[in-house]
Structure 1
Amino acid sequence: MTSSLDVTPENFVRTVHMLYHDQDATRKKIPSEWLLNVQSSLYAWSLADQLIRMNENSEVTCLSAQILRHKIQHNFDELPVEHCKALCDSLLDHLSRIELTRNTTVRVQLAVATADLALQYVGWEKPVEDVVEKLKTSSEHMLTLLEFLTALPEELNTSTIRIGENRRQYCREKYSNCGKQIHEILIFLLQVNPSHNELLFIGVIDENLDKAQNYTRIYTNLIESILECLVDGRQLDLSDLSCLHLLLYPLEHTDYEVVQSTLYTWYHLVGLIQTNNEFIIDKVKSYMDKLVDVLCAQCELDPDHLAIPPETGEKSSKNNGTSNSDLSEFRYRVQCFIEDTIYITEFIFYLFQKDV
């Protein structure tokens, strides 16, 4: 058992350092067991919160955020009801600290912890509104807000959270009514600082894959959430097609995964145009033309490439074990996309079949 005398911030920091930096594998077992005992104890609640607030180093803060998330997720019944409000306020403060949420692990753990608390703490009446209110002050909080809004439905639909079906259904109905507010906030964050629309290019220039993927995720989620409104124009404030520029930024990245992560949204857009109003094709065509131009440029072989170009086809893309397999699969997906959208792009498919 771990006593209160042992569980101090100083001992925790020292133990984490031993765990991560002691080269003797046999000695690592001691700090590992001590940390597990701390996590299972009642002291973990206040200790983890205190260490996150201190933010002494990334290793300690990450582990503390993980412990706090674990406690809320698995041991929420340990926490006295009168302490829930203080924990709620503390999590909101943590989420609003840029120096904490710049760390991806810390940001995700805090977002999930806040979502789990929102689902279990009955006394928290407006968690979505409170988180939005706390984070809407700066576009720097965009990723944190998105993590929370993503974690909430994910946690609600898992069996990890120990809530009854009545509570689960109540939360589904309650949070589904926040959709309009969430859309407005996301659009506001993109409009309040237009330079953030170009931040992905910083990731492109620096070849920062993590940054590019994060911003691409924001852009695709935002566009997906208002896509039907963009096409049918039923809400004038959500029907500005210029926001499709957001889907063009990721296409400049050199990593195929970043580019491919936007294709589902483009497919969805094309599908809505097919089933709704074809008069919108003229408005969308310029974006689609740009899309095809960039995709074809991405499919080009390097100037110094001397080998036979990789085959373009589903079978070859799956079976090719060479370094060209990624390019082959990417070219095949682009080929399929152009075939499916040719009526909009007016692009002659046989041009793509040449060795671009």
Structure 2
Amino acid sequence: MKKNGIVGHGLQLDHIEMMLRNNKIPQTLLFSGIPGIGKRRIALRFMKALFCSGEAPPCLGCPSCLQIMNGTHPDVIELSPNARGTIPIGDTGEPGTVRWLIDRLAKRSISGRYGVIVNGVDHIAVQGQNALLKTIEEPSDGTVIVLVTSNKSLILPTILSRSTEIPFYQLSSEEVLTILKSHGIDVPHATAAAEMAGGSVELAVMLTEKENLDDIISLAEEICRFVRHGGFLNLEIDNIQKKIGIENVMSIMVNIFRSFLLGTLDGTAPDVIFADINIPDEKMIRRIIKIFLALRRGLTVNLNINQALKGMLYSMHDMDDTGLPDLTMAHIDTIG
């Protein structure tokens, strides 16, 4: 399978190529891994290989390959989250919904097979996943389904057990930087953006926008200043939260403080962009990382992130260093 235009994931691509070469393709594949690392791009390349009419598929130039690239192939169907961030169960007459997909797959295909990409299966509610399960269990002849997820824990165990998983891992900072430059993004702070993105091109692109980067640096600066000197916390995160999403903010902060920790352990100088805001105390850095990891996990219980973050930072000197900090509301209400 041609790898041109794809950076990283060599083992995963080799695995997919072997399945194609041996004609041993599972009916349902699960591509898992953090957001923004190329899982959907590889799923589309896989579909091109399945439907390609040229030599050494995917040739990337035959009518089928070009149709898939343009999203016009009649037998390659993709579901993605809507503007609300969900893939609804919907109805047979509502394109982009689970029941619409099931109805499409019940009809005769033009080419003799269907290829399906569910890009964000973890964005389907339980009812919708249960409806999709029957199609996964009993797909029509020749149908190949690729489920793409960044949060496997939100997928029904019954779907997981019927899928062949191919895990994708974060890209290196060098690989992220290569992708940014290949797309013409070569701003002065691109290297720092790649480092903070934790292997996600999606996050790196967000951070190449100077306003986003400035907001993130301001947040890190305030936390570092508080750890070194104490005082009061303002933590104005509403602006950056609205622009890139609170889960992305949490992930970026984890990556930033992990880089501080590595610098403390091996003596590596921080990126020039953080030269004045590092924390020399290894224990405090570890606690900050744990706070952001706990907050990211707590997003599913509708936490007031600003309040929770302040409370946990105010009490970090009393924090237990085993496991993640307590996130119950009783704990949060008693601190800060």
When normalised by structure 1's length, the TM-score is 0.28
| Structure 1 or 2: more helix by fraction | 1
When normalised by structure 2's length, the TM-score is 0.29
Give the number of the structure with larger relative contact order, counting CA–CA contacts within 8 Å between residues 6 or more apart. 2
| Structure 1 or 2: more strand by fraction | 2
Higher gyration radius (CA):
1
